[in-house]
Amino acid sequence: MSQQKSASCLVPISSLLPADSPRSKGEDDGHVRLLAESNAVLPPILVHRSTLRVIDGMHRLRAARLLGRTAIEVEFFDGSRDDAFVRAVEANVTHGLPLSLPDRKAAAERILAAHPEWSNRVIAGITGLADTTIGAIRRRPTSGFQQSDTRVGVDGRIRPLSGAAGRLRARDIIVARPEASLREIAEAAGISPETARDVRRRMRRGDDPLPNRMRDAKSQSALSRRRPVTPTAMNLEIALDKLRRDPSLRFSKAGRSLLQWLGVHQIDPDNSKDFLRAIPPHCTATVAELARGCAEKWAQIAEELDEQS
């Protein structure tokens, strides 16, 4: 969506090409005469520099010709042809002779074809249509628009189209980087910090990162193609090693005590089977109860730390 305008200058009218206009019926002759008969100083027209094609101002250009002028004040636009068309739609929606509703819908279809990754709100803002109207155009069976699993919002940020996709992405980030903060997870996955918090809570409980309502066939298929979420010994060791190298912990008595405590209570998931085999059958229920109690305590600690992060 990047685009630039330059300072205005006089350009020979004969060098300019007609607009790639979103107006299906062309210019309005009555409006051209009205502009020619007025004594107002009209703003420069907007022209695509690389093609010398008018983007906005065909009525003003025709009025200048009607008055016998050979040059007109121009602002040049630097950008792609698709960007130039978007700018033409924006200009004709916000000022001058407004585009008709059919023309705005046709413009929305063309913009969707060029930029399927843009959100409904972005295209609605350009065309002056409701975002629900853009959504209806996008969903037409005959539209043939290229599908994208992300959307670029009004703020320029890229977000997953599906809430499930964002949660699954957050899950992968947590597995790869268990020490990452909620803010880091949220930014990398394109979700809110609160959603990142919920994903991490679910994973620590051993639950699916997707709520029941999101577990449709597509999400389950995507989930089945990914690695399991069980943390590896390497991931846990990396997280602990990062803490051990933190000066604020290494050089304080309380910090060293914390590191020692974490080291003692760390469980290596990859070697836990060896310990499980050593448990006598008559002790398994007691050990299971102890494990559940420890897991609940650790979950409470994690919740409290999440609230502080």
| CATH code, domain carrying 43 | 3.90.1530.10
Asked if residue 273 is part of any domain, the answer here is no
What is the distance between the alpha carbons of residues 82 and 80, in angstroms, rounded to a whole number? Answer: 5
pLDDT band at 308 (very low <50, low <70, confident <90, very high): low
215 and 166 together in one domain:
yes
* Together in a domain, 236 and 295: no
Q: Would you give the distance in Å from CA 210 to the centre of its chain?
A: 20
- Rounded Cα distance, 90 and 81, in Å: 14
Q: Is the separation of the CB atoms in 3 and 78 below 8 Å?
A: yes
Contact 13, 64 (CB under 8 A): yes
Task: Please report, rounded to a whole number, the percentage of residues in the chain having pLDDT higher than 90.
Answer: 22
- Higher-confidence position of 62 and 284: 62
Tally the domains of the chain: 4
Residue 198, domain member (yes or no): yes
* Average pLDDT of the residues in 17-27: 87
The answer on 15 and 92 residing in a single domain is yes
Pick the last residue of a domain from 51, 71, 99.
99
Whether 113 is in a domain gets the answer no
Quickly state the pLDDT bin for 244 (edges 50, 70, 90). confident
227 within some domain: no
Question: What mean pLDDT is reported for the chain?
Answer: 80
Residue predicted with more confidence, 71 or 114: 71
The strand pairing partners of 150, in sequence order, are 160
Q: What percent of the chain has pLDDT over 70?
A: 78
How distant is the alpha carbon of residue 7 from its chain centre?
33
Check whether 229 has a pLDDT greater than 70: no
Among the candidates 99, 130, 145, a domain finishes at 99
- Is residue 1 a part of any domain in this protein? no
- In this structure, is residue 118 part of a structural domain? no
Last residue of a domain, one of 99, 116, 133: 99
In angstroms, rounded to a whole number, what is the distance separating the alpha carbons of residues 156 and 127?
17
Do the domain assignments include residue 272? no
Q: Mean of the pLDDT values across residues 251-260?
A: 82
Q: What is the mean pLDDT of residues 46-74?
A: 93
Q: Which residue has the higher pLDDT, 224 or 307?
A: 307
126 by DSSP, 3-state: which? helix
Mean pLDDT of 57-69: 93
Region for residue 305 given its phi and psi (left: phi exceeds 0; alpha: psi -120 to 50; beta: otherwise) = alpha
Q: Is residue 147 part of a domain?
A: no
Q: Look up the pTM and report it.
A: 0.48
pLDDT at residue 44, rounded to an integer:
93
Q: Do 253 and 301 share a domain, yes or no?
A: no
Task: For residues 46 and 85, state if they share a domain.
Answer: yes
Query: What is the tens place of the pLDDT at every residue in 81-93?
Result: 888 999 989 888 8
Residues 91 and 30 in one domain: yes
Q: Across residues 151-160, what is the average pLDDT? A: 60
> Which residue has 């002759």 as its token pair?
29
Please tell me whether residues 13 and 90 are part of one structural domain: yes
Q: Which domain holds residue 302?
A: 279-308
